[in-house]
Amino acid sequence: MFMIEKITAEETHSIRQSVLRPGRPMQECIFNGDDDVQTLHLGAFTEGKLVGIASFMVDTNDYFHGKQYRLRGMAVLPEFRGMGYGKKLVTHGENLLQQKECDILWFNAREIALKFYNGQGFNIKGAPFEISTVGTHHVMYKKLS
């Protein structure tokens, strides 16, 4: 049985570390805004096991106008990739943000994930840039309203 549920920031940390920050200190997996009351943390569960996470937090990017949310810490455990968990996490988050009258969902995407996000209707804005210890990223976005 597959489900998307709201989870706590703390519940995201182990997958953030193992997928997004392997070998790095757990402190790097705690993001500014994690505990903000407007932040949404979602978990993808199968048979009671947390297999994917996504966090949506209020944040602005100068490229965009209107009410903005930022996707951070999107990750699916390697053995569960390609099964639709990531797509369902993003879609569920978009639906919740539309209820909050969010205009733009944006994030910094790793190059390896561009194809996935393009397939979900996101577009690249601006030039690629480097995030130290993580790699090359692109700002991506989707208009929700």
Domains for the chain: give ranges and CATH numbers.
Answer: 2-103 (3.40.630.30)
pLDDT in tens, 5-50: 999 999 999 999 999 989 888 888 899 999 999 999 999 999 999 9
Rounded Cα gap, residues 140 and 128, in angstroms? 10
What is the structure's pLDDT at 13? 96
Rounded Cα gap, residues 109 and 111, in angstroms? 6
- What mean pLDDT comes out for the span 97-101? 96
Q: Give the confidence band of 132 by pLDDT, cuts at 50, 70, 90.
A: confident
Compare 91 and 28 and report the one with higher pLDDT: 91
pLDDT at 114 over 90: yes
Burial tier of 90 (Cβ tally within 10 Å: 0-12, 13-18, 19+): buried
